[in-house]
Chains A and B, each alone.
Chain A
Amino acid sequence: MADTASGVPIGRFRRVWLYALCFLIVLFLVLPTIIVVPMSFTGSRFLRFPPEQFSVRWYEVYFNSVEWRDATWVSLKAAVLTMLVATPLGVLAAYGLHASRSKWARAVEVALIAPLILPLILISIGIFFLYARLGLNNTLLGLVLAHACLAMPFVFVTVLAGLKGYDMNQERVARSLGASRPVAFLTVTLPQIRFSVFSGALLAFITSLDEVVVALFISGGENATLTRRMFTALRDEIDPTVAAISSLLVALTLTLLALGLVFGDRRAGGRS
């Protein structure tokens, strides 16, 4: 029974069961998020599958609402700025750490990925507490700074992985031929790790765009993010407008994921 050629230690009959089980698990992973997309094209106030009549009513509500539009604008601005802050910092840190081989390297590495490990709720109330003293609550600057702290580790980890697969001797050659270190980095190293940098930047963008908990505490008023407004809307009632926004976010994510697969570093698909 055992398929010894491929080393599969299960019989063929059991394998059918395994495929069936895994099919269900994959459906469980993907289907709930996908099914909201057709449901959002409903004309009624209740979300059904399949929707009773096709309509873009809730998309109109979304695009015509000043509140939702403002929140979307804030989220997009914050995501772009977060990416612009987190990417250079993460790349610099990864390069510095990789090239210097300091005895403190391990400690710095742990410190830089700490935002991924520490409980997010604790980080959030900490930032809220700090910002209350600095007057940064409900400001775009504060939001971007906080999101950059959460996003930078992804850039750092991705680029560090990219550098590990890169031969630093190439940069040494460039420098021995007269290039300064910055020039050697920009013209020799950076073009070769660009896929990791691209993946890291993409992750930074998405991290900021999707972030809820920190935004819940520190973004408000005219600088409330989209996710914050969605979260508040969810707690009160099931508003079909949120289904429309969710569908748009899923579409955006899929586009970015496709971009990531085409232009990014395939090894760096994961994030938390």
Chain B
Amino acid sequence: MTEAANSAALAAAERREARGLFLLCSPAVLMIAVVVFLPIGWLFALSFLNEQGGFTLDHYARMLHPAYTRSFQTTFELSFLVTAICAALGYPLAYLMSQTSTVWRALIFVCVLFPFWTSLLVRTYAWLVLLQRRGVVNVWLQDIGLIEAPLRLVHNFTGTAIGMTQIMLPFMVLPLYAAMAAVDRDYVKAAASLGASPLKSFWQVFFPLTLPGLLAGTVLVFVLCLGFYVTPAVLGGGRVLMWSMSIERSVAVYSDWGAASALGVVLLVVTLAILWIMNRLFGVERFIGGR
């Protein structure tokens, strides 16, 4: 056999093997395709069909109705607020983690990951117990004389925002910490040795270098907030109507699959658009991908 024929046979064998290995992915891909992608495609088609099976844009046109636009507004307001508070709380915490000793860092890490591991429902329930009319927070605030009558802290916008902030905070801290840990300390030292004040070297050197992490966290938290269901449903007590709850009601209460599908498709498009644009502009993927 000539050398050329030999190497061609080898290359063919290698291709065959690569194809065989690639097939190992197929059970997982098949499962996701049938259980996740197929129904979503089905719902996508459904969102354009009227009851007779003809093409219609009615389901999308109906979304301009005030009942729906109000839920979009609530969703965006809440998501913006929660994301902003998460950034404000997450930045100092991630900063301390990146600066402190290994022991402290490990300790904070466990505290940040602890809510990650505990059930979402358990954490939401805890807030319900703490924030209720005669709950711990109100009783303590009254005991120290800060307030006269109990505050309305739950089953409204405030309670939902508090609970969501706590649940989303780890998603902000982790990418932020990843970005901060990657900053070369010498840059900051160089700025200091060139006469920059601590504040100046922080804002002009350290902060800009951590922006990609901040953006990654912001995008992640915001996108997760947009589709959040459990916590707003429990802590909102039916008074905070989010996008996801409109979808749930359309299905569970009205069995209106057209409306539910259209709402779901728009939510999906908005989510993917935000992820795609941010990834294109800032390459936030590398901070999110590793989680």
Contact = CB atoms under 8 A, between A and B. Distances in A.
Interface stretch (B1-9, B63-71, B185-193): B185-193
A10 interface: yes
Interface string A30-60: 1011011001000000111100000000000
Given A122-B40, A206-B117, A210-B119, A117 B129 contact: no
A84 to B, nearest CB: 13
Given A9-B188, A231-B230, A129 B122 contact: no
A210 B120 contact: yes
A26 B206 CA distance: 23
B54 to A, nearest CB: 20
A139 interface: no
A90 to B, nearest CB: 6
Contact of A257 (B18, B114, B226): B114
Interface string B99-140: 100000000110111111111111111111110101110010
A72 B25 CA distance: 33
Contacts, number: 272
Main secondary structure on chain A at its contact with chain B?
helix
Contacts of A46: 134
Interface in A7-40: 7-11, 14, 18-19, 21-22, 25-26, 28-30, 32-33, 35-36, 39
Interface of A: 1-2, 4, 6-11, 14, 18-19, 21-22, 25-26, 28-30, 32-33, 35-36, 39, 46-49, 89-90, 92-93, 95-97, 99-102, 104, 108, 111-112, 114-115, 117-123, 125-130, 145-146, 148-149, 152, 156-157, 161, 206, 209-210, 212-213, 216-217, 227, 230-231, 234-235, 238, 242-243, 246, 249-250, 253, 256-257, 269-272
18 contacts: A7-B185, A10-B198, A19-B96, A22-B96, A25-B92, A28-B169, A29-B111, A30-B114, A30-B115, A32-B126, A97-B25, A102-B18, A104-B22, A129-B43, A210-B119, A210-B120, A234-B234, A257-B114
